[in-house]
Chain A
């Protein structure tokens, strides 16, 4: 573990903004919330944030992204797959968001080799930050994602006038070359460990049982329609919980035609299983017509289906869905705890 003075860390970010060809983005205040956005200056960084509106997923899987362009040439069409390599330097990523990106890496790169995702991800740098403030909707400690030991290039912990820096990758190590650092003292290493350990008690919300029990619990609860309908009664099917989730990756594919000429592009855009037409087929049959079915699908997918396929619980406990759900029915912690309670009643 290294230590870097706060002023040198600021200088490092300024240098990256000035000279790295990639866009440097970081957590900053925007109105009453925190967001990941382009940094003009290191001063904008708000590393003490509790939760950003959207996760940094948007930099590896943008809300809209071109998959294919086409252009008419003489009597023929030229169709070209696009795999935009634009990477970002992302500063201030909380451990649960790093865990979410690790899950996406496993699916998009290791398993299904999605080229547009891979190119963005491999050209990106993730600078994580140990949580200093905990959102009241967050239950990351229960999901094992309040702290993380890998999945970042650098991980910084605020020690007041200096940052402890854990180096995760060779590229992270190289980033530090231009600024003075020193090895952390035993005391500083211990202080970081204390900060991380203290985090465990900082959460208002917790899952009442180990997440490893979720797949079995959900499987057993699938047919409990009274439970799902009860929750779904208030659900507006707006899809906000899908959109703000760092582990949701469903998308739709749209054709965008240029106004002039026979050219255009095919884009994918974020989509959500809560939206009414998500599972509709060509002639109108909808395989998840009822709100309760869609509502149930979301929770099953998070706690069972993705686990079944990839071995991960697709919820990192960030609490964004809870914070942004206007109907107050999207909280996975509450839903899973109630299911568990019902099962043991």
Chain B
């Protein structure tokens, strides 16, 4: 009977769409936080309402608190006393003010029991980017309260969005997709990749008379510069930690291989020489090795080699269709197509492995989850969640075992970088 019960529990767990695989944190009690709006005389009611939802959403994604959805108001300098029927440990209290075309956020975090202020700060941002006020406050709050770091939260994501056959835009957005700005449009623009840690530029592929061409786009000057061209395909798969080297997938002789390109010396070196498909090179182990996808076993799987090329090591011994990798230090996340054949229901799950051990962890348990990308601190993974004709950005908090989705309202995601 116990065995039957256990089997039932396992089956229920596996059938739960979008669930992350829960292996730790069971039974952990998180402190409860409520959000109080102390804004007065703010003309844009829609923005004010949106900001409250953003703060609640950010607190949930931060995963450090149990968050109340209820909308509270207060005066900014009121005490932390709340009604007896509310149970809360902390208050996130904020006030918005409009300063011309900019918005100011003033906030403080109060301890309900002691009425003491744990943290306070103030930020100003252009109105079109007001979402980053909430995100920035969360990053600073986590840092000041010694919570798990969420420095990725006020970083931008960049994605390519199909708008019509053969046409796609490149869009810069916040992680919730609330803020979106089209930065490249016209023709097919794909595989955007941040060029540096401060996200001031990115690489992407476009086509000149059907010839794939790699560009670098500077967001400060809004200028693009041509880097390289290659017949067949060219993609900037990864950028080294210091931003001076690129791992490219190119097919100059109708043959896709991994190349290392030095931005400064402009030296191009071929790393893989297999006659089949080698793509998606990613730096790993302090930029000394390259993890990549290859069909050298007759199906796509994950392999590694030295940055100088040479012997190739198989990294994954599970699944028959593993691709779309991203790396952080010694960790690799990849997407595995688990449909038996073309007629079966499409299922792509994400897995996390270490280059230093046999560690394997399944991160998703159903649906179509592709294109994983690590956050800058490696603690979170962003991915594309396909939802029929549309798609969403998914975020997995690796250590907290939580996942969230933010649907894209128009178009379909081609690729994403964080």
User: Does B associate with A?
Assistant: no
* Residues of chain B at the chain A interface (Cβ within 8 Å): none
